């Protein structure tokens, strides 16, 4: 796992040991940031199920102004903090249930990345809360990573979906 572009390009990130955690693959992350390139510079970004932080750190590397990281797992946050220390960045990091964080946030975002445990159902719920609370700025993008095509209504408009092997990225706008 590494930073693919920007000022920290090529830096290797600490990864998880074991198979319980599934970080976003480098090729998926590279494709994601090729799509998001015009949106990242100067953006406020939320990495909701951050894990090791590779997506949010990629956003910082590519010029995001502000990144908020959240994960409920102490193990994930330990890896994230190690990666932040290696890059000498001090972003805002929360250890909260995703819903609790979304309900208490008092800022809005240009890009929100949602990569929950695939079988959890947390992603659709998170998208619904994001829509209800209007946490996505006008022109903003929410990206939902899953193992299947997106189905259902969440209060945001799905406008694109890409498949990378067994991974799907679905892109949403606020209207």
pLDDT value of position 1 = 83
Strand partners for 46: 68, 112
Fold held by 27-173:
Rossmann fold (3.40.50)
* Residue numbers in the chain where pLDDT is lower than 50: none
pLDDT value of position 21 = 60
Q: What is the spatial distance between Cα 39 and Cα 16, in angstroms, rounded to a whole number?
A: 29
Is there a contact between 59 and 81 (Cβ–Cβ < 8 Å)?
Answer: no
Q: How far is CA 63 from CA 57, 95, 97, 133, 168, in A?
A: 10, 24, 27, 26, 25
Q: What is the spatial distance between Cα 95 and Cα 173, in angstroms, rounded to a whole number?
A: 26
Cβ-based neighbours of 55, under 8 Å, separated by 6 or more? 24, 29, 32, 47, 113, 115
Reported as half-sphere exposure (CB side, CA atoms, 13 A), residue 86 has a value of: 21
Output the CA angle 97-46-111, nearest 5 degrees: 140
Output the CA angle 41-46-49, nearest 5 degrees: 135
Give the single-character DSSP code of 2. B
3-state secondary structure of 29: helix
């Amino acid at each position: 796992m590494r930073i693919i572009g920007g000022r920290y390009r090529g830096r290797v990130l600490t990864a998880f040991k074991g198979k319980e955690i599934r970080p976003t693959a480098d090729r998926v992350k590279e494709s994601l940031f090729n799509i998001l390139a015009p949106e990242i510079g100067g953006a406020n970004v939320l990495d909701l199920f951050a894990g090791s932080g590779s997506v949010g750190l990629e956003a910082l590397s590519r010029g995001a102004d502000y990144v908020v990281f959240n994960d409920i797992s102490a193990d994930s946050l330990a890896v994230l903090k190690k990666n932040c220390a290696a890059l000498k960045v001090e972003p805002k990091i929360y250890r909260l249930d995703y819903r609790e964080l979304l309900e208490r946030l008092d800022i809005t975002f240009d890009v929100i990345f949602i990569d929950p445990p695939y079988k959890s159902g947390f992603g659709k719920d998170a998208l619904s809360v994001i829509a209800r609370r209007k946490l996505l700025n006008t022109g903003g993008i929410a990206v939902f990573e899953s193992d299947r095509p997106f189905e259902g209504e969440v209060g945001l408009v799905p406008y694109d979906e890409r498949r990378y092997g067994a991974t799907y990225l679905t892109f949403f706008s606020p209207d």
